[in-house]
Amino acid sequence: MRRRRNLRPRRAMGEEPTGEPSKTVLFVANLGFNIDDDALAALFTEAGIKVNSARIVRRQYGRPRKSKGYGFVDVGDEAEQKKAIEALEGKDVGGRQIAVKIAVNAQAREAKEEAAAEEGTSDVAIVAE
């Protein structure tokens, strides 16, 4: 029998994410579904931004696992973050205007376990979209 995971509740549209803003990671949205990790990294390096890592978020199921249209880029420090946002926010990439924002670190695992314990559930799954 398949176990169901406890998914986090969805955020209301327009509501800001909760958590601490990242000092090194950017959230990049409205990407074309054909962009892969290397293309995302290349987009930033062509703009003169140093990239430590770039990752497109993919659907959990399906072969091949298709892009969800957003990803995360680690640029190393806050100065590079600001430089990247100024250079790439609203840039047209493949006919789409991308959004580049500071990523928000998810709540700590302990906080999620406490919330699950208060709700009376025993298993907690941390799911990254």
Q: Which of 100, 54, 49 is nearest to 73 (CA)?
A: 54
Q: Where are the alpha helices (DSSP H) in the chain?
A: 37-46, 78-88, 109-119
Counted residue by residue, the chain has a size of: 129
Mean pLDDT, residues 64-83: 93
What residues does each domain of the chain span?
Answer: 20-119
Instruction: Tell me the residue type at 57.
Output: V
Report which of residues 109 and 15 the model is more confident about: 15
CATH code of domain 20-119 = 3.30.70.330
Q: Which of 52, 62, 46, 5 is nearest to 26 (CA)?
A: 52
In the chain, % of residues over pLDDT 70: 69
CA 127, chain centre distance (Å): 12
Fill in the DSSP letter of residue 76: S
Per-residue pLDDT reduced to its tens digit, 17-51: 778 888 999 999 999 999 999 999 999 999 999 99
81 touches 75 (CB < 8 A):
yes
The two tokens of residue 23 are 């000092």
pTM: predicted TM-score of the whole model, two decimal places: 0.71
- How large is the C-alpha radius of gyration of the chain? 17
